[in-house]
């Protein structure tokens, strides 16, 4: 090894090992924050306080005693199932800032996995394009806000992606989705995804893991389980009537449009059901065409739209979509993938949420332009599903790829698959990612 190579090797770390470099920066930030007493990770503070409460026999769905005295944190409730608090108990072993650091490093590894999967990197070394995509993902508001809050979004996304794309019809298929749903209820929509994509045994395992973990929570925390079922599940964040601008769901949209009318949630729930049904039909169609990742993204979009509350940072599934578009843009000279990638970044950089008045019920007085900007995530999600439905579900829909974003990667799945046009049925058609 030459002296020049030894000299410049540390400078290659961000490119060759970008996840390690980012983790190092975040870890050092956490240590500095601990030493200086910085307020770090509002939601991580809630996870840690909830875990402390169950370890010390305190009520989980009442004001948490160990929340730090920061302006917003003192008012935040614990809104996850009781078993989630049990899973968060390791965070109580560390000071708050270091607990944030652990979540940040874990989220970095999850983000790296989610980026590498659509790019087809696999176990290979990081390419410059993959490294830049990983770093560029921090320009997306769902990503940087997840890190700043100390949220679990990216960890749950990684569980779902791994289960859906890497574990089909294995003995572990469905278990990771069940685990994700036990922590946060929204991933339950992916149980339906498993069903419509022909993974019935995996769906059963997902339900079994979800039910088993929650029964464990009920056994260990019976009073908290009753509190959760009777009010904590929907009351903590006013799930049925939340009109705050950060709630980028169909329910949030309808609440803002109607001024929180008494019938708004019923309309939103009906729209959510229609949305999920259409998305599952699309997912089945895409899956049959070999577009496993596209099918998963459609289901993720429907989950975010249909949930009564989907904070803007819940839309992290745009990360694998962005990575997929990067791969298509590098492999094709067509303008479509580049335009879609630019539009995705433009919308999900989150700038529109900063130019409209939010909080103190000001969302109820938005003018038409503010309503358009303040509901950007919801409107883009609805438009994308509507366009796909028109392309794929209408009578006489063409068999060609629906959108470049969803046809860029075809991930082979175990089991029978119809042969490609012009190929004998007895021969398997190789599809490279």
* Residue 81, phi then psi, degrees to nearest 5: -60, 155
Q: Tell me which residue of 186, 275, 299, 277 sits closest to 239, measured CA to CA.
A: 186
Retrieve residue 77's tokens: 């409730």
C-alpha 421/C-alpha 358 separation (Å) is 53
Q: Flag whether pLDDT at 401 surpasses 60.
A: no
Report pLDDT for 119: 79
Report pLDDT for 426: 37
Q: Flag whether pLDDT at 405 surpasses 60.
A: no
pLDDT one-digit tens code per residue, 278-300:
999 999 999 999 999 999 999 99
Q: Flag whether pLDDT at 370 surpasses 70.
A: yes
When pLDDT is cut at 50, 70 and 90, the band that residue 366 belongs to is very high
C-alpha 165/C-alpha 300 separation (Å) is 14
* Residue 164, phi then psi, degrees to nearest 5: -70, -35
Report pLDDT for 410: 45
Sign of the dihedral through C-alpha 46, 174, 239, 304: positive
Q: Tell me which residue of 239, 110, 236 sits closest to 180, measured CA to CA.
A: 110
This prediction's pTM: 0.88
Name, in order, each residue with C-beta under 8 angstroms of 187's C-beta and a sequence gap of 6 or more: 156, 159, 160, 177, 180, 181, 303
Report pLDDT for 312: 97
Retrieve residue 217's tokens: 């929570």
pLDDT one-digit tens code per residue, 10-27:
444 466 789 999 999 999
C-alpha 117/C-alpha 234 separation (Å) is 34
pLDDT one-digit tens code per residue, 191-218:
999 999 999 999 999 999 999 999 999 9
Name, in order, each residue with C-beta under 8 angstroms of 329's C-beta and a sequence gap of 6 or more: 337, 338, 341
pLDDT one-digit tens code per residue, 79-103:
999 999 999 999 999 999 999 999 9
Q: Which residues of 361-391 are buried (b: 16+ CB within 10 A; e: fewer)?
A: eebeebeeebeebbbbbbbbbbebbeebbeb
């Amino acid at each position: 090894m030459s002296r020049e190579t030894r000299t410049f090797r540390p400078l290659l770390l961000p490119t060759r090992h970008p996840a390690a470099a980012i983790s190092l920066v975040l870890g050092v930030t956490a240590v500095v924050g601990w030493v200086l007493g910085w307020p770090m990770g509002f939601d991580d503070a809630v996870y840690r306080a909830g875990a402390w409460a169950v370890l010390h026999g305190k009520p989980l769905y009442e004001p948490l005693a160990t929340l730090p005295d920061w302006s917003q944190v003192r008012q935040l409730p614990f809104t996850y199932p009781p078993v989630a608090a049990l899973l968060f108990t390791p965070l109580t072993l560390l000071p708050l800032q270091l607990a944030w650091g652990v979540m940040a490093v874990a989220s970095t590894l999850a983000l790296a996995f989610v980026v590498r999967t659509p790019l087809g990197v696999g176990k290979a070394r990081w390419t410059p394009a993959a490294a830049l995509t990983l770093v560029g993902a921090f320009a997306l508001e769902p990503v940087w806000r997840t890190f700043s809050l100390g949220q679990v979004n990216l960890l749950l996304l990684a569980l779902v992606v791994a289960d859906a794309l890497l574990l089909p019809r294995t003995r572990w298929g469905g278990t990771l989705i069940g685990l994700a749903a036990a922590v946060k209820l929204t991933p339950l929509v992916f149980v339906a995804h498993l069903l419509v994509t022909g993974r019935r045994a995996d769906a059963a395992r997902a339900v079994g893991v979800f039910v088993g973990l929650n029964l464990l929570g009920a056994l260990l925390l019976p009073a908290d389980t009753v509190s959760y079922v009777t009010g904590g599940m929907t009351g903590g964040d006013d799930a049925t009537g939340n009109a705050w601008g950060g709630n980028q769901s169909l329910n949030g949209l309808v609440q803002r449009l109607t001024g929180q009318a008494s019938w708004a949630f019923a309309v939103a729930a009906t729209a959510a059901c229609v949305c999920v049904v259409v998305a599952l039909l699309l997912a089945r169609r895409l899956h049959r065409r070999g577009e496993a990742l596209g099918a998963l993204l459609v289901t993720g979009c429907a989950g975010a739209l249909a949930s009564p509350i989907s904070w803007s940072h819940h839309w992290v599934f745009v990360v694998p979509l962005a990575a997929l578009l990067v791969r298509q843009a590098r492999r094709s000279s067509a303008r479509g993938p580049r335009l879609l990638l630019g539009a995705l970044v433009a919308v999900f950089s989150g700038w529109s949420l900063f130019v409209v008045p939010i909080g103190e019920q000001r969302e109820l007085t938005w003018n038409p332009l503010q309503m358009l900007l303040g509901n950007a995530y919801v409107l883009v999600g609805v438009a994308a599903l509507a366009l796909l439905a028109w392309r794929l579900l209408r009578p006489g829909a063409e068999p060609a790829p629906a959108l470049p974003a969803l046809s860029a990667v075809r991930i082979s799945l175990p089991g029978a698959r119809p042969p490609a046009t012009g190929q004998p049925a007895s021969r398997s058609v190789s599809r490279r990612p």
